Structure 1
Amino acid sequence: MRHLLGNRKLLTLLTLLVLASQCVRSLNPSLNDDVLGLIVFKADLQDPKRKLSSWNQDADTPCNWFGVKCNPRSNRVTELTLDGLSLSGKIGRGLLQLQFLHKLSLARNNLTGTITAINLTRLANLRVVDLSDNSLSGSIPEDFFEECGSLRSLSLAKNKFSGKLPGSLSSCAATLASLDLSSNQFSGDLPPGVWGLNGLRSLDVSDNLLEGGIPKGIEALNNLRAINLSKNRFAGEVPSGIGSCLLLRSIDFSENLFSGYLPETMQKLILCNYLSMSDNLLAGEVPSWIGEMIRLETLDLSRNNFSGEIPREMGKLESLQVLNFSANGLTGSLPESMSNCRSLLSLDFSRNSIGGGLPVWIFGSALEKAWQLENKLSQSSNTLANLQVLDLSENEFSGEIASCIGVLSSLKLLNLSGNSLVGPIPRTVGDLKELDVLDLSKNKLNGSIPLEIGGATSLGELRLERNFLSGQIPNSVENCSQLTTLILSHNSLTGPIPAVLAKLTNLQDVDFSFNSLTGSLPKQLANLPNLYSFNISHNHLQGELPAGGFFNTISPSSVSGNPALCGAAVNKSCPAVLPKPIVLNPNSSSDSSTGVLPQSLGHKRIILSISALIAIGAAAVIVVGVIAITVLNLRVRSSTSRSAAALTFSGGDDFSQSPTTDANSGKLVMFSGEPDFSTGTHALLNKDCELGRGGFGAVYRTVLRDGRPVAIKKLTVSSLVKSQDDFEREVKKLGKVRHPNLVALEGYYWTTSLQLLISEFVSSGSLYKHLHEGPGGHFLSWNERFNIILGTAKGLAHLHQSNIIHYNIKSSNILIDSSGEPKVGDYGLARLLPMLDRYVLSSKIQSALGYMAPEFACKTVKITEKCDIYGFGVLLLEVVTGKRPVEYMEDDVVVLCDMVRGALEDGRVEECVDGRLQGNFPVEEAVPVMKLGLICTSQVPSNRPDMGEVVNILELIRCPSEGQEELV
């Protein structure tokens, strides 16, 4: 505190000195102005890396300070460059003292606040200002640019600025050469003055909320080299005046609302090497004059309304590297003249109506390719040897895939899905050593999956679904060690699922559904550490499902349609395998090797099966076990009674802390006050005071001497608890966590045989009781349910900010107080029980089926806050629908997430809302809330939002007018 007050006093003093220095000048008026200005500037900052430690207010000059450059003649500061130092705080007025500053660069920090301290009138010598990649906010003052002075380059990119751009920008026409305002929240039209900045060479206002059109006067920007208007709401036609900006090299108008046709004048832009008009409403045919833009390296007209055939003049673009015409209405075939585009790296014509056979100029004829291979030629006039991405999906291509496709040895992505291709998969796909994605799905391919597929050793994603493939899944797939996605569904594959799949440890998504596979599932599949989806439904598989790992939580829908399968997921027990009985003959010799009984046992014939012998042995073991458990229980009760007695007598008048003195006495610590129990510890062992039982122990209610009720959890996993020191350290951390939506931990009690956690008592019971325990419970209205969801989210967000993972999200752990506010309880138990691995947690903590995130089953996947978010998503759906996470019917098992997701896909998600609400709920809130629940329960942890984002989304759903747009 003293240090903080000292800094404030120093800041005040220096500020006064700065002000004084502006009014009173000595004979050498400016020698120390820069020192004072920089020290005041530093005082507004936090410097975690201590990069500014060399800045000392006692220095005569700052010219040797870190990040500072001076004019060697005048010793005045001319440059201040502090990029990427993790600085935080605001940009203070100390900068106004640096009157000879030419360059100010504070990029890639964590600065906040506004830029009012940067006054171009006072800093008339500024030429370069770079404040990009910070968290600056607010609007730019209207008069900010009125005195541009010498300003040549300004970057405010990647901040949080908002409002309209000031009209004073027009004052910078004579000097400004580079303007970057991208990735902010600027809105409204671009001020007319922007189009008069005739000195401008680079203009980037992308990723904002700007609107309006481009005026015809754009030709005034005749020095422009690069213009980026992407990711805004600009509309209207692209003006023909753009063709007068002859120096343009890069044009990006993507993701806007531009309409009409591309102006013919653009063919004059022969220096342009980058042109992107994707994601607009442009129409008409692709103009033939596009071939005159011979320097083009990237041409992206995707996701527009272009129609007609692709012009032959495309073949003139010999420098073209990236060509994307996807998602238009193009027809005809791909012109052979494009074989001249030998520099192509990426070619995407997906989602059009292009037909005919696959282009010969891409794949070549078998004879030509064989000649190339024989003569060891890497390319010829008809070979795209460097092609890395080829996407012709969702078109009308027919015929077979050329067997010489293996010559395209640089391919990383090959997508021919959604066409009408026939014939077999070429064996030469095994020659594509660099291939990462192979998608041949939704065609009419037949034959078997070639053994040579194992040669594509870099393959990460293989999709062959919805074809007519037959035969077995080849064992050679084990060579594709990078595979994460393997989709072979809706074919006619037969035979077993190969055991070698268990070697593909990167596998995440597998779908073999709707085939004719037979045999049993290899048990080794349970060892796949990253698996989150495995669909084998509608085959002829049999036997027991693998146990452990992902298969402990596999969805019933993923294994349905296999009548001979058994296991928990299909709700069908597997039959015991019993050997044939052994016949013991009493009349045979006792020393015979047949295992018969001796004659002394009598004359009766005895027939005993192995199972009978096992049953007899088991009965004996049970008897011994019952006796042992009885003895242990007597000892435990005695120990517990001694511990409870110690708790009763060890406190006296001071219960804030009672030290442990021996094995029979305990230590009681309360985090606030000095309370005592009014009813004695017999309440802890009294069934009448029990509130409930969980995976780790029972909870009791008792009353402190001051009349305040508390809940006491008696842990029943003493063998897993940390040492006393570690236990106390973790409990005290949890005791410091305070939030209106968290059950407060009040204290604890410790002995070696008894551990108690003392928490505040929440009066109105659990959320589970209100949702599921019949008409006797209080019915929750929609507003009450929404408040419970939001309050729970806020409580979890606070836990995550405190680096605490709950691990145990379920409705029975959400308590409701007398005012209807939710309180999250039972958090942080895993911090107290370090010996619990994720499998114990999955059975102990995640005792309620349906809440557990799929990564709990993966040994190598890190357990993070994303597990809580999955459980919260399930809880959210439970609150809205009034249904349990998993419900067992007579002939079916209903998984809540699957039910809601299916209803959403069928357009009937509103039907999922709890019927007891009887239409008394706002659809505009209920539907987005359920969609949020499905997002939170994504199978991929990285796809789930964090709890802070969840809170923001929920608040936006409740009050959409406060956000920029509603969640739909």
Structure 2
Amino acid sequence: MSREVPLHFLFFCIILTISSCFAIRGSQEGLILQELKRGFDDPLEVFRNWNEHDNSPCNWTGITCDAGEKFVEEVDLSNTNIIGPFPSVVCRIDGLKKLPLADNYVNGSIPADLRRCRKLGYLDLSQSLIVGGLPDFISELSRLRHLDLSGNNLSGPIPPAFGQLLELQVLNLVFNLLNTTIPPFLGNLPNLLQFNLAYNPFTGTVPPELGNLTKLQNLWLAGCNLVGEIPETLGNLAELTNLDLSINRLSGSIPESITKLDKVAQIELYQNLLSGPIPVAMGELKALKRFDASMNMLNGSIPAGLGSLNLESLNLYQNDLVGEIPPGLGSFASLTELKLFSNRLTGRLPESLGRYSDLQALDIADNLLSGSLPPDLCKNKKLEILSIFNNVFAGNIPESLGTCTSLNRVRLGGNKFNGSVPSSFWGLPHISLLELKDNNFEGLISPDIANAKCLSQLVINGNTFTGSLPTEIGELRNLSEIIASNNFLTGALPPSVGKLQQLGKLDLSNNQLSGELPAEISSCKQLGEINLSKNQFSGSIPASVGTLPVLNYLDLSDNLLTGLIPSEFGNLKLNTFDVSNNRLSGAVPLAFANPVYEKSFLGNPELCSREAFNGTKSCSEERSERAKRQSWWWLLRCLFALSIIIFVLGLAWFYRRYRNFANAERKKSVDKSSWMLTSFHRLRFSEYEILDCLDEDNVIVSDGASNVYKATLNNGELLAIKRLWSIYKTNASNDNGFQAEVDTLGKIRHKNIVKLWCCCSKSDSNLLVYEYMPNGSLGDLLHGPKASVLDWPIRYKIALGAAQGLAYLHHGCVPAIVHRDVKSNNILLDEDYVAHVADFGVAKILQSCARGADSMSAIAGSYGYIAPEYAYTLKVNEKSDIYSFGVVILELVTGRRPVDPEFGENKDLVKWLCNKIEKKNGLHEVLDPKLVDCFKEEMTMVMRVGLLCTSVLPINRPSMRRVVEMLQEANPHHKAKATGKDGKLSPYYCEEPTICIV
């Protein structure tokens, strides 16, 4: 007999079955994620709460589930430093919609298994060091809306499958190696909002089909090697807010269509009927806010229609544009940046420029613009950069600029300005560069200049300024350069100049200055150039000038100076020295008996020399005899002084011998047997001589972990002894890099690697005994007061020597050795300035070539030298050393430290240098001004090597062996080697550095 099943019981069974299915699926997803976890190295332990016993992965780090907290929808492991291949297993999660894996070390190419992520709408693999080509199966991910593959090593073409991603909103392929044309089928993506292909080595033109992307908001095609004209069809992009076509080879004129996206007639009507800025409501009719077509080959005029837009930023610099600047630009309410320099623009600036906007940067240098400056450039007190040099502007500086306290850089040189400079303009509180050169300015330099506390460069040469240099100039403690030549300045040089401790260049030539040269000038220890020629200075030359440590240019010609040439000048290393046409007398110091100074002493009738040279007469025998008779008294005095000195030295010698004897007796009671000596070369000394030198008086460097002693042995030989304390004093296992030094330097024999003689060990400390380097480290010498000693031939010699040392570590040692802390402070210089690579405390011997890179437990190296990939992958190989050495090369070329507040926020030397050389005349700004221009070509070639070494992508960096070859090619003696059989120069030989992207 059958019985009916109750409905409520059936409903309960159905619910139970569905719940069981959910539980099984959730458990399966947890197992999949555990398998994903096992495929990665995890140095930051981001997987630490991925507990295999937890049935709910929704609580795990990086995992996001649906609203019911049942199924996984997102796996976010971006910026976690995980290392391993692409996790294909993740595509077994049926409901996966988002997969951000950016900023990791996902090695290899994009696998075909990715096609199994059918529901994927968001994929971010940027900055993951991926190689290979773009996937041709991408069209199978039909729901994809966000695709970011930027900052990788992807190469080849863009497959046609990309044109079938109809739901795609964001496409980002910036900073790859894509090297074919931009395909027209990318214009078939109807929902695309962001289209970023910048900095790829494409070929060809901008496809007109991009005009079909009517929803597009951002189009970034900078640095893509594009040629041809800008398509008119881009005017169809009515929603576009940012258009960047910079750093290409585009030609032709800027199309009018870009300025006429919609309702242009209404905007022009408002401009004709109303005064003032474009109303905000009308500005909304035009979406475009930022337009950058700089560094191309565009010609023609700036379209007048641009004046109908309400742009925030307009960059059209370094083109061949002509005509006038559209007046409508002055009415923009949002304009903050206007850069039109290096064109052939004419006419006047818009009269209302700056009146309605928070203008921050105006750079229109190197044009043919004329008229006066608009009065309201800084009405809203936001203007920071005013660069208008090399035009034909005239009139006075507006009084309103004297109240523009936001100004930081002002360059008005090479115009026809006249009148006096407003007093308040001299004392702007935040100004760092004030350039007024080659105009017709007149009047006094105001004492208000004392308020310009941030002023670094004062360049006012080629005007008609009068009066004296104000005493208040000594208050500008950041001032590094004063160039006021070719004016009508009078009076004496104020002694307060001696307070300018950062002053590197003083040029007051061709004025009417008088009085004696102040001895206080010798307090300016950074002075490398002094030019006081063609004035009326009188009196004697201060002998203290001869003590300036970095002076290499001294011109005192055409004055009224009298007396002797100080003998102290013989200590200077002067490239240029001129005291001609004065009233000097006496003998010329023997140090100047050199053809280099052939014309340095002309026009001084009373000067003489032992033999006629350099335009002077020979000192007569009678004068010599008279000088001898007068010298007898000096000789007696010297003998008396010498006897006192000998007596004092004798006492000092006796005291030193007595102290050494006492120390020796005291140390005899110490158990020296507790030290264990290990030698790596045949020694000419014993461990007892080393231990006797561990005296506090011999310490030359000290930090919390070690002391470095200068040791003088009994045979007169000099050694450097580094004493490393263990971290816990009684445990030598915490050796502060002692074992790494021994394992590497103990086996290495190379002229450019510092020699480790031996080591000594005991329970609480270790000793490393090196050859002594009299000239210390490259970093201390290059960035210290003796930097002028390092002329370019010496710097080149140091760069080549250090490169040869590193090349030996990478290619001459089996297995290879990675230094991991290459920096200028770890390159030591002997008495002949031969470079020796030192400090192997964190060096790493690579265990296997097959592994490619060894994983570190922590970052080693110094800030500013660390390769980008090393900082977030902790993977170390030779490419890390090559990047660090590239920074050292750039230090040698620029004379700057790897990190400096002047570079700006989050910028180091590499990024600062790349930004500088992209600009016109940027090369002149980056080369070390202490080096002479005759080496400019060679320095430029060496800079190119440094830029290659510091490429953001490790694959683009040359090997150290290749670096040595390129440095040799950069030497004029090796230039013949840089020429091939076809007579063309090697790719590594260039007159100017190419643009680099960091």
Q: TM-score, normalised by structure 1?
A: 0.64
Cα distance change of structure 1 residues 732 and 956 upon mapping to structure 2, 3 Å threshold: same
Q: Note if 1:621 corresponds to 2:644.
A: yes
Looking at structure 1, the residues matched to 960 and 512 of structure 2 have their Cα atoms a distance apart, in angstroms, of: 43
Looking at structure 1, the residues matched to 35 and 557 of structure 2 have their Cα atoms a distance apart, in angstroms, of: 70
Looking at structure 2, the residues matched to 498 and 37 of structure 1 have their Cα atoms a distance apart, in angstroms, of: 79
Q: 2:322 aligns with which of 282, 293, 307?
A: 307
Q: 2:758 aligns with which of 747, 764, 768?
A: 747
SS of equivalent residue, structure 1 residue 69? strand
Q: Note if 1:447 corresponds to 2:448.
A: no
Q: Note if 1:805 corresponds to 2:805.
A: no
> Which residue number corresponds to residue 460 of structure 2?
464
> Which residue number corresponds to residue 698 of structure 2?
none
Asked if structure 2 preserves the Cα contact closer than 8 Å seen for 1:559 and 1:570, the reply is no
> Which residue number corresponds to residue 299 of structure 2?
283
Asked if structure 2 preserves the Cα contact closer than 8 Å seen for 1:120 and 1:147, the reply is no
Asked if structure 2 preserves the Cα contact closer than 8 Å seen for 1:809 and 1:868, the reply is no
Report how far residue 868 of structure 1 moved: 7.1
Q: 1:209 aligns with which of 201, 204, 211?
A: 201
Report how far residue 190 of structure 1 moved: 1.4
Looking at structure 1, the residues matched to 21 and 392 of structure 2 have their Cα atoms a distance apart, in angstroms, of: 84
> Which residue number corresponds to residue 914 of structure 1?
none
Moved more, 394-403 or 280-289: 394-403
SS of equivalent residue, structure 1 residue 446? strand
Structure 2: which amino acid aligns with 1:128?
Answer: Y
Identity %: 22
Asked if structure 2 preserves the Cα contact closer than 8 Å seen for 1:308 and 1:331, the reply is yes
Looking at structure 2, the residues matched to 349 and 826 of structure 1 have their Cα atoms a distance apart, in angstroms, of: 47
Looking at structure 2, the residues matched to 41 and 558 of structure 1 have their Cα atoms a distance apart, in angstroms, of: 72
Looking at structure 2, the residues matched to 680 and 623 of structure 1 have their Cα atoms a distance apart, in angstroms, of: 31
> Which residue number corresponds to residue 104 of structure 1?
99
Looking at structure 1, the residues matched to 930 and 456 of structure 2 have their Cα atoms a distance apart, in angstroms, of: 31
Cα distance change of structure 1 residues 662 and 63 upon mapping to structure 2, 3 Å threshold: same
Looking at structure 2, the residues matched to 506 and 558 of structure 1 have their Cα atoms a distance apart, in angstroms, of: 20
Q: 2:173 aligns with which of 174, 181, 184?
A: 181
> Which residue number corresponds to residue 323 of structure 1?
338
Cα distance change of structure 1 residues 26 and 951 upon mapping to structure 2, 3 Å threshold: farther
Looking at structure 2, the residues matched to 662 and 165 of structure 1 have their Cα atoms a distance apart, in angstroms, of: 76
Looking at structure 2, the residues matched to 494 and 300 of structure 1 have their Cα atoms a distance apart, in angstroms, of: 43
Report how far residue 803 of structure 1 moved: 7.2
Matches within 5 A, 1:355-434: 355-356=370-371, 358-362=372-376, 386-430=382-426, 432-434=428-430
Structure 1: which amino acid aligns with 2:744?
Answer: V
Report how far residue 316 of structure 1 moved: 4.8
Looking at structure 1, the residues matched to 509 and 38 of structure 2 have their Cα atoms a distance apart, in angstroms, of: 65
Looking at structure 1, the residues matched to 380 and 768 of structure 2 have their Cα atoms a distance apart, in angstroms, of: 72
Q: Note if 1:569 corresponds to 2:572.
A: yes
Asked if structure 2 preserves the Cα contact closer than 8 Å seen for 1:139 and 1:164, the reply is no
Q: 1:35 aligns with which of 30, 46, 49?
A: 30
Asked if structure 2 preserves the Cα contact closer than 8 Å seen for 1:137 and 1:162, the reply is no
Q: Note if 1:543 corresponds to 2:542.
A: yes
Matches within 5 A, 1:812-823: 812=832
Cα distance change of structure 1 residues 680 and 336 upon mapping to structure 2, 3 Å threshold: closer
Cα distance change of structure 1 residues 931 and 205 upon mapping to structure 2, 3 Å threshold: closer
Asked if structure 1 preserves the Cα contact closer than 8 Å seen for 2:347 and 2:370, the reply is yes
Cα distance change of structure 1 residues 951 and 337 upon mapping to structure 2, 3 Å threshold: farther
Looking at structure 1, the residues matched to 232 and 837 of structure 2 have their Cα atoms a distance apart, in angstroms, of: 67
Q: 2:934 aligns with which of 898, 903, 909?
A: 903
Structure 2: which amino acid aligns with 1:211?
Answer: T
Looking at structure 1, the residues matched to 658 and 837 of structure 2 have their Cα atoms a distance apart, in angstroms, of: 29
Report how far residue 74 of structure 1 moved: 6.4
Report how far residue 300 of structure 1 moved: 1.9
Report how far residue 619 of structure 1 moved: 3.9
Structure 2: which amino acid aligns with 1:359?
Answer: L
Matches within 5 A, 1:45-194: 45-73=40-68, 75-107=70-102, 109-117=103-111, 119-132=113-126, 134-172=127-165, 174-194=166-186
SS of equivalent residue, structure 1 residue 336? coil
Asked if structure 1 preserves the Cα contact closer than 8 Å seen for 2:255 and 2:303, the reply is no
Looking at structure 1, the residues matched to 380 and 660 of structure 2 have their Cα atoms a distance apart, in angstroms, of: 81
Report how far residue 233 of structure 1 moved: 0.7
SS of equivalent residue, structure 1 residue 31? helix
Asked if structure 2 preserves the Cα contact closer than 8 Å seen for 1:152 and 1:178, the reply is yes
Looking at structure 2, the residues matched to 227 and 512 of structure 1 have their Cα atoms a distance apart, in angstroms, of: 51
Looking at structure 2, the residues matched to 792 and 353 of structure 1 have their Cα atoms a distance apart, in angstroms, of: 52
Asked if structure 2 preserves the Cα contact closer than 8 Å seen for 1:697 and 1:713, the reply is no
SS of equivalent residue, structure 2 residue 758? strand
Aligned length in residues:
732
Q: 1:792 aligns with which of 805, 817, 837?
A: 805
Report how far residue 57 of structure 1 moved: 2.8
Looking at structure 1, the residues matched to 451 and 770 of structure 2 have their Cα atoms a distance apart, in angstroms, of: 62
- CA distances 1:236-283 after superposition (whole Å, capped 9, x unpaired): 111111111211121111111111112222222222121111111111
Looking at structure 1, the residues matched to 164 and 429 of structure 2 have their Cα atoms a distance apart, in angstroms, of: 57
Looking at structure 2, the residues matched to 67 and 406 of structure 1 have their Cα atoms a distance apart, in angstroms, of: 55
Structure 1: which amino acid aligns with 2:550?
Answer: T
SS of equivalent residue, structure 1 residue 285? coil
Cα distance change of structure 1 residues 323 and 631 upon mapping to structure 2, 3 Å threshold: closer
Structure 2: which amino acid aligns with 1:554?
Answer: L
Asked if structure 1 preserves the Cα contact closer than 8 Å seen for 2:302 and 2:326, the reply is yes
> Which residue number corresponds to residue 296 of structure 1?
311
Looking at structure 1, the residues matched to 338 and 894 of structure 2 have their Cα atoms a distance apart, in angstroms, of: 43
Looking at structure 2, the residues matched to 865 and 642 of structure 1 have their Cα atoms a distance apart, in angstroms, of: 48
Q: Note if 1:222 corresponds to 2:222.
A: no
Q: Where does structure 1 lack aligned partners over 5 or more consecutive residues?
A: 1-24, 364-378, 577-606, 647-659, 686-694, 701-711, 761-783, 815-823, 832-863, 876-895, 910-925, 937-946
Asked if structure 2 preserves the Cα contact closer than 8 Å seen for 1:873 and 1:934, the reply is no
Cα distance change of structure 1 residues 721 and 138 upon mapping to structure 2, 3 Å threshold: closer
Q: Note if 1:553 corresponds to 2:550.
A: yes
Report how far residue 467 of structure 1 moved: 3.0
SS of equivalent residue, structure 1 residue 54? coil
Structure 1: which amino acid aligns with 2:373?
Answer: P
Structure 1: which amino acid aligns with 2:316?
Answer: L
SS of equivalent residue, structure 1 residue 350? coil
Report how far residue 179 of structure 1 moved: 1.0
Asked if structure 2 preserves the Cα contact closer than 8 Å seen for 1:424 and 1:445, the reply is yes
Q: 1:736 aligns with which of 738, 743, 768?
A: 743
Cα distance change of structure 1 residues 283 and 209 upon mapping to structure 2, 3 Å threshold: same
Looking at structure 2, the residues matched to 813 and 410 of structure 1 have their Cα atoms a distance apart, in angstroms, of: 46
Cα distance change of structure 1 residues 699 and 130 upon mapping to structure 2, 3 Å threshold: farther
Looking at structure 1, the residues matched to 663 and 941 of structure 2 have their Cα atoms a distance apart, in angstroms, of: 47
Cα distance change of structure 1 residues 232 and 303 upon mapping to structure 2, 3 Å threshold: same
- CA distances 1:305-356 after superposition (whole Å, capped 9, x unpaired): 1112233344454443322221111122234365765443333221101123
Asked if structure 2 preserves the Cα contact closer than 8 Å seen for 1:447 and 1:470, the reply is yes
Q: Provide the alpha-carbon RMSD of the alignment.
A: 5.3
Q: 1:669 aligns with which of 674, 677, 688?
A: 677
Looking at structure 1, the residues matched to 451 and 832 of structure 2 have their Cα atoms a distance apart, in angstroms, of: 53
Structure 1: which amino acid aligns with 2:804?
Answer: G
Looking at structure 2, the residues matched to 558 and 89 of structure 1 have their Cα atoms a distance apart, in angstroms, of: 64
Matches within 5 A, 1:223-238: 223-238=215-230
> Which residue number corresponds to residue 694 of structure 2?
none
- CA distances 1:780-831 after superposition (whole Å, capped 9, x unpaired): xxxx9998674135469955626793453258575xxxxxxxxx65845999
